[in-house]
A and B are shown apart, each in its own frame.
Chain A
Amino acid sequence: MTTLPTKQNKKLGLVIDLDICVGCHACAVNCKEWNTSGHSSPLHDIDPYGDDPTGVWFNRIHTFEVESEINGSKTVHFPKSCLHCSDAPCVTVCPTGASYKREEDGIVLVNPDTCIGCKLCSWSCPYGAREYDEEAGIMKKCTLCVDKIYNENIPEADRVPACVSTCPAGARSFGDLGDENSDIFKLVEERNGYDLMPEQDCAPTNKYLPPREKNNQSNKKELESITKDNEITFDSWKEIIENASK
């Protein structure tokens, strides 16, 4: 059914630390790598080696320049994938019931056998999380690696989404954001994790941790003048070098 589940036993999701992300795109690449042979396989590419390649990706990394009066200018790498919203509009607009949210863990998925490819779900998503597969004629999206996190054929340590296990900087965390005792929930509390576009009322599960404030003020040291009268002549240079060599 395309109605949302009335209760959610778990709220599995990601926490992305914008303070740590270095913008290497490894999470996007490993996402494509895993998912092109997983639940939504294959993730088609069109004209992959041509002049104008496009293709289905579940995770894309944007880079923003943030100019602030207090902190000056800074570059922030901003990975974005499905936020597995609690109030997911992409689920309720679906005319066939192909788009659904799981009661057991809150993961939003598309049933590839019943999707008619009307694209309405992608229109209703404010985050651009859904991508239409032109070749397959159906909508595809991040599965939170549902075929990896419960997979008993792989070591337990690897049972996290591909983007999380591959991140070399540790900018991505995975866990149950509905459990107040979980590490991930505490991390969000501690670092003031926030929702993207709260005004869209989607109640996203994934949270973002803001970049830390720059702490330039305390480290700033006044440079000391190397001459007494603030006037450097050739002779004074000679004096300085001579003093230094002694």
Chain B
Amino acid sequence: MHPSKSIIFFTVFSGTGYGILLCLSYLAILTDINFDNNFKLLLMITSFVFISSGLLSSTLHLGHPERAWRSFSQWKSSWLSREGLAAVVTFLPLMIFYLFWYLDSFLYIYFLHSTSILCLITIYCTGQMYATIKTIPAWNNKMVTPIYTINSICVGALTVYCFTRFYGFEINYLYHFTIVSLSLCLFLKVIYWYIISKKIVSTANSATGLGKNNNISLFEGPHTGKNFLTTEMINKIKKEKANFLRLCFVVLTCVLPIYMIIQEASLIIDSFMLKVSFFLVLIFALIGMLIERYLFFIQAKHVVSLYYGEKKSINE
């Protein structure tokens, strides 16, 4: 599938914004999250900017962004509609949470948890939108939605963790939460890569119906140039390049942050270097996540490719 920049940006940044809130919600259950106002403000601005810029970016790939409001109407049948609706509704408790949290009102806790539930619903809808597309075997998979969720949570937690490094203080439970969620992200992704390499749904034989046991090959395409289908749905990436990018994701988003978090005491000398290092860890983790999303698209093979010369709808 064509890796649309606006959608990749949307899932990574909105996801991270939601992840920050989910992480705060988790911490709020276990400990007190009444941090100092500057730190609160940093988290508020980051989560808000990430979520809203991601959502705005997602409308950029539309042919008619000005009609985007129409997509709230079909929530009964369409996951995309549900996603749009959930994303917008989330802003209501989110803004109230920001206000109460900043004002140190005890009420913030209710709005934080209700925001988190809506964040989870939004992420779930996004995941389901992809997971219910039967024509793309790599997406039509029970692991897609959990991976969307864990991606959000782990980078969100990492963002909060890196911010605590900038301010030089500890939050109880955050250390373990970050490491566990990053490890889980890596674990689920590796299983996912294994699963998609095995799954065959349709073949050139079922696509054309020209004999189950016959060898069917494309003799002549419908035209000599490209068309919408070939540019949007038939994208290829060399296996070596894909494997290299997978490694980049594993190192940048999972291994490097975990290593830095665990080895922090033995690695960093002064506080300035500590801030710079964790700033870079965060940037690299986000880049790794962008790579992961890119691969999610470019490696997903659409069954329409069977009409354009592919023999099996299998993923590399």
Q: Which residues of A contact B (CB under 8 A)?
A: 1-3, 18, 28, 52-57, 60-69, 75-76, 78, 80, 89, 92-98, 114-120, 122-128, 131-134, 136-139, 194-201, 208, 210-211
Contacts and interface: CB of A to CB of B under 8 A. Distances in A.
Interface stretch (B45-53, B58-66, B94-102): B58-66
B206 A62 contact: no
Contact of B222 (A2, A54, A60): A60
Interface residues of B, number: 59
Interface stretch (B153-161, B175-183, B228-236): B228-236
Interface in B218-275: 218-223, 225-229, 231-233
B207 A66 contact: no
A199 B201 contact: yes
Nearest to B82: A95
B62 A117 contact: yes
Given A54-B225, A95-B81, A115-B64, A62 B307 contact: yes
A116 B62 contact: yes
A55 B83 CA distance: 31
Contact of A119 (B70, B81, B136, B232): B232
A116 B222 contact: no
B37 interface: no
B127 interface: no
Contacts of B227: 54-55, 57, 60, 131
B1 to A, nearest CB: 7
B63 A138 contact: yes
Contacts of B303: 126, 197, 200
A122 B73 CA distance: 20
Given A66-B210, A116-B68, A196-B207, 10 more contacts: A1-B77, A3-B76, A54-B228, A78-B208, A116-B71, A117-B62, A117-B63, A127-B304, A137-B63, A194-B209
23 contacts: A52-B225, A54-B228, A57-B227, A65-B216, A68-B215, A92-B77, A93-B79, A95-B84, A96-B71, A96-B73, A96-B74, A114-B67, A114-B70, A116-B65, A118-B80, A125-B304, A126-B303, A136-B63, A137-B62, A197-B206, A200-B134, A200-B201, A210-B210
B54 to A, nearest CB: 16
A62 B220 contact: yes
Interface of B: 1, 61-65, 67-68, 70-74, 76-81, 84, 129, 132-136, 201-202, 204, 206-211, 213-223, 225-229, 231-233, 302-304, 307-308
Contacts, number: 191
A116 B78 CA distance: 14
Contacts of B232: 119, 122-123, 132
B135 A126 contact: yes
Contacts of B136: 123
Contacts of A18: 210
Contacts of A69: 213
A56 B231 CA distance: 13
B214 A62 contact: no
Contacts of B72: 95
A125 B231 CA distance: 15
B228 A95 contact: no
A65 B219 CA distance: 5
A95 B202 CA distance: 27
A128 B202 contact: no
Contact of A64 (B61, B208, B225, B233): B208
Contacts of B211: 66, 68
A76 B206 contact: no
Nearest to A209: B209
The listed residue with most B CB atoms (<10 A of its CB), out of A53, A96, A138, is: A96
The listed residue with most B CB atoms (<10 A of its CB), out of A61, A95, A120, A127, is: A95
A214 B47 CA distance: 67
Contact of B135 (A114, A119, A200): A200
B214 A120 contact: no
Contacts of B206: 196-199
